[in-house]
Amino acid sequence: MSREQQLADGLRALGIALPATVQAQLLAYAAFLEKWNRTYSLTALRDPALAVSHHLLDSLAILPYVDAASLLDVGSGGGQPGIPLAIARPELAVTLVDSNSKKTAFLQQAAIELGLKNVQVVTARVETFAPAAPFAAITSRAFAELADFVALTRHLLAPGGAWLAMKGVRPDAEMNKLPADVAVAAVHRLDVPGVDGERHLVVIRER
């Protein structure tokens, strides 16, 4: 099956409608990531056959739950989920932060190559990052335990905003360790086409 078909089928299974031009841009990002990954080890995933499922569809599975004007992707690495979300939703202001300058060099180049005017890249440790304005949503994929994720990024969340933590198996033990002044608003099980194993999105808000 071609990557184009795999992406189109996967988006249909997720219930996400994206124009053909956007789908082409997503595949261009996957190809760009693959090219840089050979030199810079941006992601542990080496099998090109898994790029659509594990990079694109896995990131886009949270799109229906991103109800915000601005999004911070913490520990963005190779750009997931931030870049696929930015491509799918051009009106969403996406900031990608990572402390690894090789990774942010890639992210900056990807944003330029793909013409993503809604993406900003920052090289910083998230706990010292001081943006001009806080973010309506903060996401991460396999960045840290939930309590640490909240503690390290609390100063970056706008009032009424939400943390969107991407996890594998449902992290009940981690949820039980969250501080008393935040609450789990929802846990969404994500069925990502082509991805074995469980995927969950944990939505956390301040009380």
Residue positions in the annotated binding site for S-adenosyl-L-methionine? 75, 80, 126-127, 141
Distance CA 180, CA 68 (A): 24
200 forms bridges with which residues in the sheet? 167, 189
Distance CA 6, CA 10 (A): 6
Taking alpha carbons only, the member of 67, 56, 79 closest to residue 164 is 67
Residue pair 165/184 in contact by the 8 Å Cβ criterion: no
Rg, the chain, Cα only: 16
Binding residue positions: 75, 80, 126-127, 141
Phi and psi angles of residue 188, each rounded to the nearest 5 degrees, phi first: -105, 125
Distances (CA, A) of 153 to 58, 77, 81, 128: 23, 17, 17, 9
Distance CA 32, CA 111 (A): 11
